[in-house]
Amino acid sequence: MVKILDRLLLFVYTLLVGVGLVFVLITAFGFVPFEQATEFLNDLFYEPSVAYPIIALALFALLATCRFFYIAIRTGRAQVPSIDQRTDFGDIRISIETVENLSLKAAGRVRGVKDLKARVAVSDAGLDIVIRALVEGDTSIPDMSEEVQRTVKGHLEDVTGIPVAKVSVFIANVAQNTTFKSRVE
């Protein structure tokens, strides 16, 4: 939610600065007559109906500048998403990226799958894993999918000790065989 607000703030801030710069450029190039510019400045000093909106825009720009400055200099405190386990000897933390890589390694052992991608989510029942793959054209998709599910589930439970609730396999496409016949002249 904070990132969405920051992006919206950045959009409005950029728009405000852009409009202000266009106004300054138009004035600097002399497209605004001197009399109109002095009249605007006079209104800015003596007319509250002109001064208050400009003050509000300036305060918004100042606050946005402070926010962006804070974002730029703060240290990264974001922790890497992980799965935490407590043992008799202490805590074990396994990153989600590690579990994804282990899933890819296990699924890669299955014959007939290519271009693997993995997504891991943690639920109360255990790990929910989604494997996305391309299959070779002559491979039985149901048999290969079941083998990927068994292999990934078994490998992850053996290596990490974390129960796997489900392994979903998404077959994205069929890979084309790229065998080229060499031609000798």
Give a yes or no: residue 180 inside a domain: no
Residue 22 lies in domain: 2-73
Last residue in a domain, options 39, 73, 107: 73
Residue 87 has pLDDT above 90, yes or no: no
Contact between 153 and 116 under an 8 Å Cβ cutoff? The reply is no
Examine the domain organization and report whether 104 and 122 are in the same domain.
Answer: yes
Examine the domain organization and report whether 58 and 86 are in the same domain.
Answer: no
Quick check: pTM over 0.75? no
Segment 23-44, tens digit of pLDDT: 889 988 889 888 988 998 899 8
CATH of the domain at 98: 3.30.70.1350
Contact between 172 and 132 under an 8 Å Cβ cutoff? The reply is yes
Query: Sheet containing 164-175: which strands, arranged edge to edge?
Result: 113-123, 126-136, 164-175
